[in-house]
């Protein structure tokens, strides 16, 4: 009998913004909710099982789903007690993922500018998810 291989092609067509801040996740979430008029709500943590570790790592996850706009906003912590979600971006503490059908560049620039205005945020950078080695960790 022949061997079959299943190849899965993931969609990385979302906006990824890395946020650096020493604040707790709930404080960053609160600041983003206020500044961007979001309703990010804490959900079950993102669980990543790494081959090297016996136990999976858990990363804080906040989600705001906007069905009327066909969009979804996710805030994910880059650090857990056991490791880093995206090791090649270890200087980032959080990632804001924006999934929207046809998001306009103007909207992205406005969101990015507002995030940089938040006093709790040290820096924010836009990241091309397709260039990351561990980009599969961002697929939910």
Mean pLDDT for 36-47 is 93
Mean pLDDT for 9-18 is 75
| Residue 2 domain flag | no
| Residue 79 domain flag | yes
Residues near 128 by beta carbon (within 8 Å), at least 6 away in sequence? 16
CA 70 from chain center: how many Å?
18
Q: Give the per-residue pLDDT at 94.
A: 96
Domain of 63? 15-138
| Residue 8 domain flag | no
| Residue 122 domain flag | yes
| Residue 4 domain flag | no
Given a cut of 60, whether residue 76 has pLDDT beyond it is: yes
| Residue 10 domain flag | no
Q: Give the per-residue pLDDT at 125.
A: 94
Domain count, the chain: 1
pLDDT band at 5 (very low <50, low <70, confident <90, very high): low
Q: Identify the CATH number of the domain in which residue 29 sits.
A: 3.30.310
């Amino acid at each position: 009998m022949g061997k079959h291989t299943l190849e899965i092609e993931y969609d990385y067509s979302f906006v990824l913004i890395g946020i650096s801040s020493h604040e707790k996740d709930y404080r960053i979430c609160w600041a983003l909710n206020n500044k961007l008029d979001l309703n990010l709500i804490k959900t079950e943590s993102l669980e990543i099982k790494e081959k090297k570790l016996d136990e999976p790592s858990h990363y804080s996850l906040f989600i705001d789903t906007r069905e009327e706009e066909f969009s979804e906003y996710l805030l994910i912590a880059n650090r857990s007690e056991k490791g880093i979600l995206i090791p090649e971006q270890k200087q980032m503490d959080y990632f804001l993922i924006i999934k929207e059908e046809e998001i306009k560049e103007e909207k992205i620039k406005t969101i990015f500018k507002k995030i940089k205005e938040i006093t709790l945020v040290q820096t924010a950078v836009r990241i091309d998810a397709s260039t990351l080695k561990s980009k599969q960790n961002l697929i939910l």
